[in-house]
Amino acid sequence: MIPCQRDLFDIPEGVTYLNCAYMSPMMRAVAHEGRAGLERKMQPWKIRPADFFTQSEELRACAARFFLCPADDIAIVPSASYGIQMAAGNLPLAPGKKILVLEEQFPSNFYPWQRLARRNSGALRTVALPADGDWTSAVLSALNNDVGIAALPHVHWTTGGLLDLTRIGAACRELGIALALDLTQSLGVYPFDVNAVQPDFAVAAAYKWLMGPYSLAVTYVAPKWQQGFPLEESWLQRANARDFSDLRYTDAYMTGARRFDMGEHSNFATMPAAIAAIRQLLDWGVHEISETVGALNRHLLQRLEPLGIQIWPERLRAPHYLCLRSDRLPTAGMVEKLAAEGIYVSLRGASIRITPHVYNSVEEVERVGDRLLELAVKDKSGLRA
Protein backbone atom coordinates (compact mmCIF):
# COMPACT_ATOMS: atom_id res chain seq x y z
CA MET A 1 0.00 0.00 0.00
CA ILE A 2 1.24 3.47 -0.88
CA PRO A 3 0.97 5.95 2.00
CA CYS A 4 -1.09 9.06 1.31
CA GLN A 5 0.89 11.33 -1.07
CA ARG A 6 -1.14 14.51 -0.63
CA ASP A 7 1.98 16.62 0.05
CA LEU A 8 3.07 16.16 -3.55
CA PHE A 9 -0.13 17.86 -4.74
CA ASP A 10 -1.59 21.32 -4.38
CA ILE A 11 -4.86 20.23 -2.80
CA PRO A 12 -5.97 22.68 -0.09
CA GLU A 13 -7.23 21.46 3.24
CA GLY A 14 -10.99 21.18 3.04
CA VAL A 15 -10.95 19.81 -0.51
CA THR A 16 -11.62 16.11 -1.02
CA TYR A 17 -10.99 15.33 -4.64
CA LEU A 18 -12.46 11.99 -5.69
CA ASN A 19 -12.64 12.63 -9.40
CA CYS A 20 -9.46 11.37 -11.04
CA ALA A 21 -11.53 9.79 -13.84
CA TYR A 22 -12.52 13.34 -14.79
CA MET A 23 -9.06 14.88 -14.57
CA SER A 24 -6.16 14.18 -12.21
CA PRO A 25 -4.64 17.03 -10.26
CA MET A 26 -1.13 17.74 -11.47
CA MET A 27 1.67 17.20 -8.97
CA ARG A 28 3.62 20.27 -7.88
CA ALA A 29 6.85 18.87 -9.36
CA VAL A 30 5.07 18.12 -12.65
CA ALA A 31 3.72 21.65 -12.92
CA HIS A 32 7.21 22.95 -12.15
CA GLU A 33 8.65 20.93 -15.04
CA GLY A 34 5.90 22.22 -17.34
CA ARG A 35 6.49 25.85 -16.38
CA ALA A 36 10.25 25.50 -16.82
CA GLY A 37 9.66 23.88 -20.21
CA LEU A 38 7.32 26.66 -21.32
CA GLU A 39 9.89 29.26 -20.31
CA ARG A 40 12.60 27.66 -22.42
CA LYS A 41 11.13 29.41 -25.42
CA MET A 42 11.98 32.75 -23.85
CA GLN A 43 15.54 31.95 -24.94
CA PRO A 44 15.22 29.90 -28.10
CA TRP A 45 18.92 30.09 -28.87
CA LYS A 46 19.33 27.54 -26.11
CA ILE A 47 16.99 25.05 -27.79
CA ARG A 48 19.05 22.78 -30.03
CA PRO A 49 17.73 20.61 -32.88
CA ALA A 50 18.43 17.50 -30.80
CA ASP A 51 16.03 18.82 -28.15
CA PHE A 52 13.15 18.32 -30.57
CA PHE A 53 13.62 14.58 -30.12
CA THR A 54 15.17 13.94 -26.71
CA GLN A 55 12.09 14.43 -24.58
CA SER A 56 9.73 12.77 -27.05
CA GLU A 57 11.95 9.70 -26.98
CA GLU A 58 11.99 9.79 -23.21
CA LEU A 59 8.21 10.00 -23.06
CA ARG A 60 7.91 7.16 -25.56
CA ALA A 61 10.19 4.99 -23.44
CA CYS A 62 8.39 5.83 -20.17
CA ALA A 63 4.93 5.28 -21.65
CA ALA A 64 6.00 1.95 -23.15
CA ARG A 65 6.52 0.66 -19.61
CA PHE A 66 2.78 0.85 -18.95
CA PHE A 67 2.02 -1.17 -22.07
CA LEU A 68 4.98 -3.55 -21.53
CA CYS A 69 6.13 -2.98 -25.11
CA PRO A 70 9.24 -1.53 -26.77
CA ALA A 71 9.40 2.27 -27.04
CA ASP A 72 9.35 1.79 -30.82
CA ASP A 73 5.68 0.77 -30.66
CA ILE A 74 4.50 4.05 -29.11
CA ALA A 75 3.27 7.11 -31.01
CA ILE A 76 2.82 10.49 -29.34
CA VAL A 77 -0.55 12.03 -30.16
CA PRO A 78 -2.70 14.87 -28.79
CA SER A 79 -5.81 13.00 -27.66
CA ALA A 80 -7.58 9.69 -27.43
CA SER A 81 -9.80 10.73 -30.33
CA TYR A 82 -6.72 11.26 -32.50
CA GLY A 83 -5.35 7.79 -31.68
CA ILE A 84 -8.70 6.14 -32.36
CA GLN A 85 -9.04 8.02 -35.64
CA MET A 86 -5.59 6.73 -36.60
CA ALA A 87 -6.74 3.17 -35.87
CA ALA A 88 -9.95 3.68 -37.88
CA GLY A 89 -7.91 5.00 -40.80
CA ASN A 90 -5.56 2.03 -40.85
CA LEU A 91 -7.58 -1.06 -39.96
CA PRO A 92 -9.09 -2.72 -43.03
CA LEU A 93 -12.77 -3.55 -42.87
CA ALA A 94 -14.44 -5.75 -45.44
CA PRO A 95 -17.69 -4.26 -46.83
CA GLY A 96 -20.64 -5.04 -44.62
CA LYS A 97 -18.56 -6.16 -41.65
CA LYS A 98 -19.62 -4.81 -38.28
CA ILE A 99 -17.75 -2.80 -35.69
CA LEU A 100 -18.34 -3.76 -32.09
CA VAL A 101 -18.71 -1.06 -29.41
CA LEU A 102 -20.24 -0.95 -25.93
CA GLU A 103 -23.41 0.86 -24.90
CA GLU A 104 -22.47 4.24 -23.41
CA GLN A 105 -18.92 3.94 -24.76
CA PHE A 106 -16.99 7.19 -24.58
CA PRO A 107 -17.72 9.32 -27.69
CA SER A 108 -14.05 9.53 -28.78
CA ASN A 109 -14.15 5.76 -29.20
CA PHE A 110 -17.50 5.82 -30.97
CA TYR A 111 -17.67 8.57 -33.62
CA PRO A 112 -14.66 7.42 -35.70
CA TRP A 113 -16.18 3.94 -35.87
CA GLN A 114 -19.61 5.25 -36.69
CA ARG A 115 -18.15 7.13 -39.65
CA LEU A 116 -16.13 4.12 -40.80
CA ALA A 117 -19.15 1.83 -40.53
CA ARG A 118 -21.29 4.24 -42.57
CA ARG A 119 -18.60 4.58 -45.23
CA ASN A 120 -18.22 0.85 -45.42
CA SER A 121 -21.91 -0.03 -45.78
CA GLY A 122 -21.51 -1.76 -42.47
CA ALA A 123 -22.99 -1.13 -39.09
CA LEU A 124 -22.05 -0.75 -35.48
CA ARG A 125 -22.99 -3.61 -33.20
CA THR A 126 -23.56 -2.29 -29.69
CA VAL A 127 -23.14 -4.55 -26.68
CA ALA A 128 -25.90 -3.59 -24.23
CA LEU A 129 -25.14 -2.81 -20.57
CA PRO A 130 -25.15 -6.32 -19.10
CA ALA A 131 -27.71 -6.83 -16.35
CA ASP A 132 -25.24 -8.99 -14.40
CA GLY A 133 -22.35 -6.52 -14.86
CA ASP A 134 -20.32 -9.05 -16.86
CA TRP A 135 -19.03 -7.06 -19.84
CA THR A 136 -16.53 -9.75 -20.80
CA SER A 137 -19.15 -12.46 -21.34
CA ALA A 138 -21.39 -9.97 -23.15
CA VAL A 139 -18.56 -9.00 -25.53
CA LEU A 140 -17.47 -12.60 -26.09
CA SER A 141 -20.95 -13.64 -27.09
CA ALA A 142 -21.23 -10.70 -29.51
CA LEU A 143 -18.02 -11.62 -31.37
CA ASN A 144 -18.56 -13.69 -34.49
CA ASN A 145 -17.69 -13.77 -38.18
CA ASP A 146 -19.88 -10.72 -38.92
CA VAL A 147 -17.56 -8.52 -36.86
CA GLY A 148 -14.47 -6.94 -38.44
CA ILE A 149 -13.27 -4.64 -35.65
CA ALA A 150 -13.85 -4.58 -31.89
CA ALA A 151 -13.38 -1.07 -30.47
CA LEU A 152 -13.38 -1.34 -26.71
CA PRO A 153 -12.16 0.16 -23.44
CA HIS A 154 -10.51 -1.72 -20.57
CA VAL A 155 -12.79 0.02 -18.08
CA HIS A 156 -16.28 1.24 -18.99
CA TRP A 157 -16.32 4.92 -18.09
CA THR A 158 -19.87 5.27 -16.68
CA THR A 159 -20.16 1.96 -14.81
CA GLY A 160 -16.56 1.11 -13.92
CA GLY A 161 -17.09 -2.32 -15.50
CA LEU A 162 -13.86 -4.17 -16.22
CA LEU A 163 -13.28 -6.12 -19.43
CA ASP A 164 -11.01 -9.16 -19.49
CA LEU A 165 -9.02 -8.03 -22.50
CA THR A 166 -6.79 -11.10 -22.53
CA ARG A 167 -9.78 -13.36 -23.19
CA ILE A 168 -11.35 -10.88 -25.59
CA GLY A 169 -8.02 -10.48 -27.45
CA ALA A 170 -7.70 -14.25 -27.87
CA ALA A 171 -11.27 -14.51 -29.19
CA CYS A 172 -10.62 -11.67 -31.64
CA ARG A 173 -7.49 -13.35 -32.98
CA GLU A 174 -9.30 -16.62 -33.45
CA LEU A 175 -12.02 -14.92 -35.50
CA GLY A 176 -9.67 -12.56 -37.38
CA ILE A 177 -11.20 -9.48 -35.72
CA ALA A 178 -9.03 -6.38 -35.24
CA LEU A 179 -8.91 -4.96 -31.71
CA ALA A 180 -8.66 -1.22 -31.03
CA LEU A 181 -8.57 -0.11 -27.39
CA ASP A 182 -9.18 3.08 -25.47
CA LEU A 183 -7.22 2.72 -22.22
CA THR A 184 -7.82 6.29 -21.03
CA GLN A 185 -9.70 5.13 -17.92
CA SER A 186 -7.18 2.46 -16.97
CA LEU A 187 -3.59 2.97 -18.15
CA GLY A 188 -1.43 4.00 -15.20
CA VAL A 189 -3.87 2.73 -12.58
CA TYR A 190 -4.69 -0.78 -13.75
CA PRO A 191 -2.15 -3.24 -15.16
CA PHE A 192 -2.11 -3.80 -18.89
CA ASP A 193 0.08 -6.07 -21.02
CA VAL A 194 0.12 -5.80 -24.82
CA ASN A 195 1.77 -9.20 -25.01
CA ALA A 196 -1.20 -10.86 -23.36
CA VAL A 197 -3.92 -8.83 -25.09
CA GLN A 198 -2.26 -8.29 -28.50
CA PRO A 199 -4.36 -5.33 -29.62
CA ASP A 200 -3.84 -3.68 -32.99
CA PHE A 201 -4.01 -0.15 -31.57
CA ALA A 202 -4.37 1.06 -27.97
CA VAL A 203 -4.62 4.70 -26.95
CA ALA A 204 -4.64 6.53 -23.61
CA ALA A 205 -5.08 10.25 -22.97
CA ALA A 206 -2.53 11.54 -20.45
CA TYR A 207 -4.61 13.92 -18.34
CA LYS A 208 -6.45 11.40 -16.18
CA TRP A 209 -4.71 8.37 -14.69
CA LEU A 210 -1.35 9.19 -16.28
CA MET A 211 -1.47 12.46 -14.29
CA GLY A 212 -0.02 14.44 -17.17
CA PRO A 213 -1.03 17.67 -18.89
CA TYR A 214 -4.01 18.14 -21.19
CA SER A 215 -3.67 17.71 -25.00
CA LEU A 216 -1.37 14.75 -24.86
CA ALA A 217 -1.93 11.02 -25.35
CA VAL A 218 0.04 7.93 -26.27
CA THR A 219 -0.89 5.22 -28.73
CA TYR A 220 0.44 1.69 -29.01
CA VAL A 221 0.67 0.58 -32.63
CA ALA A 222 1.20 -3.15 -33.21
CA PRO A 223 4.28 -3.82 -35.37
CA LYS A 224 2.14 -5.16 -38.23
CA TRP A 225 0.53 -1.72 -38.68
CA GLN A 226 3.70 0.32 -38.40
CA GLN A 227 3.93 0.76 -42.18
CA GLY A 228 0.51 2.45 -42.18
CA PHE A 229 -0.69 5.99 -42.83
CA PRO A 230 -0.37 8.72 -40.22
CA LEU A 231 -3.11 11.32 -39.83
CA GLU A 232 -0.62 14.10 -40.49
CA GLU A 233 2.43 14.23 -42.73
CA SER A 234 4.86 16.13 -40.52
CA TRP A 235 8.49 16.73 -41.36
CA LEU A 236 9.27 15.45 -37.84
CA GLN A 237 8.11 11.95 -38.76
CA ARG A 238 10.50 11.61 -41.69
CA ALA A 239 13.74 9.70 -41.51
CA ASN A 240 15.93 12.76 -42.09
CA ALA A 241 14.22 15.09 -39.59
CA ARG A 242 17.15 15.24 -37.18
CA ASP A 243 19.27 17.14 -39.70
CA PHE A 244 17.68 20.58 -39.81
CA SER A 245 20.09 21.75 -42.46
CA ASP A 246 18.94 19.14 -44.97
CA LEU A 247 15.22 18.42 -44.88
CA ARG A 248 15.00 17.44 -48.53
CA TYR A 249 11.85 15.48 -49.32
CA THR A 250 12.01 11.80 -48.61
CA ASP A 251 9.49 8.96 -48.61
CA ALA A 252 11.23 7.34 -45.69
CA TYR A 253 9.71 7.63 -42.22
CA MET A 254 11.35 7.26 -38.86
CA THR A 255 11.27 3.75 -37.49
CA GLY A 256 8.49 2.01 -35.58
CA ALA A 257 5.36 3.91 -34.59
CA ARG A 258 7.11 7.30 -34.88
CA ARG A 259 5.49 7.92 -38.26
CA PHE A 260 2.19 8.27 -36.36
CA ASP A 261 3.48 11.01 -34.04
CA MET A 262 1.51 14.24 -34.19
CA GLY A 263 3.03 17.34 -35.74
CA GLU A 264 5.03 19.40 -33.22
CA HIS A 265 5.19 16.51 -30.78
CA SER A 266 8.29 18.14 -29.27
CA ASN A 267 6.16 20.36 -27.03
CA PHE A 268 8.64 21.89 -24.61
CA ALA A 269 6.02 22.44 -21.90
CA THR A 270 3.90 19.29 -21.98
CA MET A 271 6.69 16.77 -22.65
CA PRO A 272 8.74 17.32 -19.47
CA ALA A 273 5.56 17.52 -17.40
CA ALA A 274 4.25 14.23 -18.76
CA ILE A 275 7.61 12.54 -18.26
CA ALA A 276 7.80 13.69 -14.63
CA ALA A 277 4.26 12.45 -13.95
CA ILE A 278 4.84 9.07 -15.55
CA ARG A 279 8.14 8.60 -13.75
CA GLN A 280 6.41 9.14 -10.43
CA LEU A 281 3.65 6.67 -11.33
CA LEU A 282 6.22 4.08 -12.37
CA ASP A 283 8.05 4.69 -9.13
CA TRP A 284 4.91 3.95 -7.13
CA GLY A 285 4.13 0.99 -9.41
CA VAL A 286 0.85 0.36 -11.24
CA HIS A 287 -0.05 -2.72 -9.15
CA GLU A 288 0.58 -0.79 -5.96
CA ILE A 289 -1.49 2.17 -7.15
CA SER A 290 -4.31 -0.15 -8.11
CA GLU A 291 -4.22 -1.88 -4.70
CA THR A 292 -4.07 1.40 -2.79
CA VAL A 293 -6.90 3.07 -4.65
CA GLY A 294 -8.96 -0.14 -4.57
CA ALA A 295 -8.61 -0.27 -0.78
CA LEU A 296 -9.81 3.33 -0.48
CA ASN A 297 -12.90 2.46 -2.47
CA ARG A 298 -13.54 -0.60 -0.33
CA HIS A 299 -13.41 1.55 2.82
CA LEU A 300 -15.94 3.91 1.35
CA LEU A 301 -18.19 1.10 0.27
CA GLN A 302 -18.15 -0.45 3.74
CA ARG A 303 -19.41 2.84 5.16
CA LEU A 304 -22.33 2.74 2.74
CA GLU A 305 -23.47 -0.77 3.58
CA PRO A 306 -26.78 0.40 5.10
CA LEU A 307 -27.81 1.81 1.72
CA GLY A 308 -27.88 -1.55 -0.04
CA ILE A 309 -25.80 -0.34 -2.97
CA GLN A 310 -25.81 -2.64 -6.00
CA ILE A 311 -22.20 -3.27 -6.75
CA TRP A 312 -20.68 -5.95 -8.93
CA PRO A 313 -18.08 -8.34 -7.53
CA GLU A 314 -14.47 -7.16 -7.83
CA ARG A 315 -13.63 -9.35 -10.82
CA LEU A 316 -16.25 -7.46 -12.85
CA ARG A 317 -15.31 -3.89 -11.92
CA ALA A 318 -12.20 -1.78 -11.87
CA PRO A 319 -10.84 -1.29 -8.34
CA HIS A 320 -10.16 2.41 -8.98
CA TYR A 321 -13.78 3.04 -9.91
CA LEU A 322 -16.80 3.13 -7.68
CA CYS A 323 -20.10 3.77 -9.42
CA LEU A 324 -22.77 4.04 -6.77
CA ARG A 325 -26.38 3.53 -7.54
CA SER A 326 -29.20 2.38 -5.27
CA ASP A 327 -32.80 3.32 -4.68
CA ARG A 328 -31.46 5.90 -2.20
CA LEU A 329 -28.52 7.21 -4.18
CA PRO A 330 -27.87 9.58 -5.83
CA THR A 331 -30.43 11.95 -4.38
CA ALA A 332 -31.41 15.08 -6.28
CA GLY A 333 -28.63 17.70 -6.31
CA MET A 334 -26.30 15.49 -4.26
CA VAL A 335 -23.21 16.11 -6.39
CA GLU A 336 -23.67 19.89 -6.22
CA LYS A 337 -24.31 19.73 -2.49
CA LEU A 338 -21.10 17.77 -1.98
CA ALA A 339 -19.13 20.19 -4.19
CA ALA A 340 -20.36 23.09 -2.05
CA GLU A 341 -18.75 21.27 0.88
CA GLY A 342 -15.47 20.74 -0.99
CA ILE A 343 -16.12 17.10 -1.95
CA TYR A 344 -15.71 16.48 -5.66
CA VAL A 345 -17.25 13.47 -7.39
CA SER A 346 -19.05 13.04 -10.74
CA LEU A 347 -22.50 12.06 -11.81
CA ARG A 348 -22.21 9.69 -14.77
CA GLY A 349 -25.35 8.11 -16.14
CA ALA A 350 -27.44 7.14 -13.13
CA SER A 351 -24.42 6.66 -10.83
CA ILE A 352 -22.25 8.72 -8.56
CA ARG A 353 -18.75 8.05 -9.83
CA ILE A 354 -16.01 8.06 -7.20
CA THR A 355 -12.44 7.77 -8.38
CA PRO A 356 -9.76 8.43 -5.74
CA HIS A 357 -5.98 8.33 -6.06
CA VAL A 358 -2.95 8.28 -3.81
CA TYR A 359 -3.58 11.87 -2.66
CA ASN A 360 -6.67 10.65 -0.80
CA SER A 361 -6.53 9.20 2.71
CA VAL A 362 -8.58 6.50 4.40
CA GLU A 363 -9.99 9.05 6.85
CA GLU A 364 -11.05 11.26 3.97
CA VAL A 365 -12.98 8.55 2.13
CA GLU A 366 -14.58 7.39 5.36
CA ARG A 367 -15.77 10.93 6.02
CA VAL A 368 -17.22 11.10 2.52
CA GLY A 369 -18.92 7.74 3.07
CA ASP A 370 -20.54 9.07 6.25
CA ARG A 371 -21.63 12.24 4.49
CA LEU A 372 -23.17 10.31 1.59
CA LEU A 373 -25.04 8.20 4.08
CA GLU A 374 -26.36 11.28 5.86
CA LEU A 375 -27.47 12.89 2.62
CA ALA A 376 -29.13 9.71 1.38
CA VAL A 377 -31.11 9.40 4.60
CA LYS A 378 -31.86 13.11 5.05
CA ASP A 379 -32.88 13.77 1.44
CA LYS A 380 -35.26 10.85 1.30
CA SER A 381 -37.91 13.16 -0.10
CA GLY A 382 -35.71 13.74 -3.16
CA LEU A 383 -34.93 10.09 -3.76
CA ARG A 384 -34.71 8.91 -7.34
CA ALA A 385 -37.13 6.26 -8.46
Ligand X SMILES: Cc1ncc(COP(=O)(O)O)c(C=O)c1O
Cis peptide upstream of residue 107 (ω within 30 degrees of 0):
no
Task: For residue 294, give every residue at least 6 positions away whose Cβ sits within 8 Å of its Cβ, in sequence order, or none.
Answer: 314, 319, 320
Q: How far is the CB of 108 from ligand X (least distance, A)?
A: 3
**φ, ψ of residue 88 in degrees (nearest 5):** -65, -30
Select 217 or 338, whichever has its Cβ closest to ligand X: 217
Report the candidate in 136, 220, 203 with the shortest Cα–Cα distance to residue 172.
136
157 binds ligand X (CB under 6 A): yes
Tell me the chain's radius of gyration from C-alpha atoms. Answer: 22
Contacts with ligand X by CB under 6 A: the residue count is 13
Q: How far is the CB of 203 from ligand X (least distance, A)?
A: 8
User: Contact with ligand X (CB under 6 A): which of 26, 74, 149, 205?
Assistant: 205
In degrees, rounded to 5, the angle at the alpha carbon of residue 316 between the alpha carbons of residues 344 and 74 is: 75
Report the candidate in 74, 23, 136 with the shortest Cα–Cα distance to residue 262.
74
297 binds ligand X (CB under 6 A): no
SS (H, E, C) 112-139: HHHHHHHHCCCEEEEECCCCCCCHHHHH
Select 109 or 351, whichever has its Cβ closest to ligand X: 109
Select 109 or 267, whichever has its Cβ closest to ligand X: 109
77 binds ligand X (CB under 6 A): no
345 binds ligand X (CB under 6 A): no
24 binds ligand X (CB under 6 A): no
User: Contact with ligand X (CB under 6 A): which of 9, 17, 67, 106?
Assistant: 106
CB of 90 closer than 8 Å to CB of 65 = no
Q: How far is the CB of 354 from ligand X (least distance, A)?
A: 15
User: Contact with ligand X (CB under 6 A): which of 24, 81, 85, 355?
Assistant: 81
For ligand X, the binding residues (CB under 6 A) are 79-81, 106, 108-109, 153, 157, 182, 184-185, 205, 217
